[in-house]
Amino acid sequence: MENYLEATKTITGAQTTPTNTFWEDNGAVKALWEELAEEMKKTDGKAKDGTPNGCEALQNPSDKTACNYLHAGFTELYTTPTPAASSSATTATPSVLNNPSFRQTMGCFLLHAYAKHMKEKATCLIDDGIKQAFDTAGQGKSGNGDIPCKWEQEKYDSCNININGVAGQGGSAKDKVDAVLKADKDNIDKMAKQINTVTDLCDQVKCVTTRWMKDKANNGGNDRTWNDVWDQVKEQIKELAAGTTEDKKSAVSSICSKLSKDSDGKEACLLIAAGLKNLYDIKDDQNGVDAVKASFQRTMRCVLLNAIADKLQDDKFPCKDEKKTKEGIEKAFGQSATIMGQGEGCRNGNVTCFKCERMTLEKLKDCNLDSPGTTQNVKEKVDDLLKNGECWLCWNQHTNILTQHNVLTQPQHNQHNNNNTTNILTQHNILTQHNILT
């Protein structure tokens, strides 16, 4: 790249040369990025015209989206530029982008930077999607003499060049290219939102769990275990309970304002709405909570909140029809997007947040986090946690709707567990306080 610019520059005293102008706002680098970004934006993270491109074989939705974006970028990069495209590139160096070697080398830098931005903003691991795009579309057209673009992040990060052709004034190509992408905030934010759009709750749980388990940077350089996962989920029960006290419910009263009394489902609505507000209040970067951990916590609290909703709608829940718990639950979940917009961690368009929607745990019965294994089944693990007396206790202390109707002793998997749970709760004067045992 340096050699080409050196050969094309014209030295005229202190006048500007192609070597230092091609990084500027009207330079070739920005023009090439705009060309690639426009093609990627058109796909919206989907295969162009639905044509198979190799990305469809990926299982993780975020991997597919990342792969499709990059695939579209590479396809455009290896297309011979039209005169119209090259003429709009830059007035300073109209022929730079017409040189295939230069164009493809610079484009490789740009797509490297783009992929790195994807990884930083994704709540899921998208390494497979990035690799798939670089290994296929990044090889250029067969027999065309194209320069392959390999996914070599370390080499990309450490590449230093002469910024303006003057000895001693080198710089990082990475920094220059990053500046071009960061200036295009709208495109980057749209990409991040699409990358993080996962519509299936099981996929979302798999996605954030895998990322959190491999987040060595925030775990002393070590991967986490399945025990770590479920211990952390247990902690989310306590946090969710603390977020549904009476004062917390009052903060979401407007969500349920059209339900005038308990018999309209108001109490159930307030409980679920407060739970939703609690998970949307989790911040990415304050009090030691990072974006990866925050996404994991939000997702698991969403699963737990749906498990609680299941309990309230269970046929063995007394007065569920009279209290219209189903209607109250649906009302709260129906306002989930509104509540998300009010959440301290999700307002202002935080792209790592997702909308928690109503889904019964029954629909997660085939959701195995260790697939193709079956030992880390979401429904079974969450059911076990919520059957545990101590976990129910922390929830019970703050939710009268549960304690008043004896949900805590409904149904246990066997008599032995029922007695154990009752003993635990009796020791803490929970059941007796609500006249359940008397």
- Domain range summary for the chain, segments of one domain joined by +: 2-195, 201-399
Q: What are phi and psi of 368, to 5 degrees?
A: -105, 115
pLDDT of residue 39: 93
Task: Look at strands 160-162 and 170-172 and give their pairing.
Answer: antiparallel
Q: At 432, which helix (H) or strand (E)? A: helix 430-433
pLDDT given for residue 432 in this prediction:
31
Which tens digits make up the pLDDT trace of 334-362?
999 999 999 999 988 888 999 999 999 99
> For the chain, which ranges sit under pLDDT 70?
1-22, 81-95, 160-172, 286-289, 389-438
* Per-residue pLDDT, 14: 42
Q: How far, in Å, CA of 412 to CA of 407, rounded?
A: 10
- How far is it, in rounded angstroms, from Cα 221 to Cα 217? 5
* Sign for the pseudo-dihedral over CA of 39, 43, 48, 49: negative
Please name which of 231, 270, 272, 269 lies closest in space to residue 251, comparing C-alpha atoms.
270
Other Cβ atoms within 10 Å of 120 Cβ, number:
9
Which residues touch 8 (CB under 8 Å, ≥6 apart)?
18, 93, 95, 96
Cα 54 from Cα 71, distance rounded (Å): 9
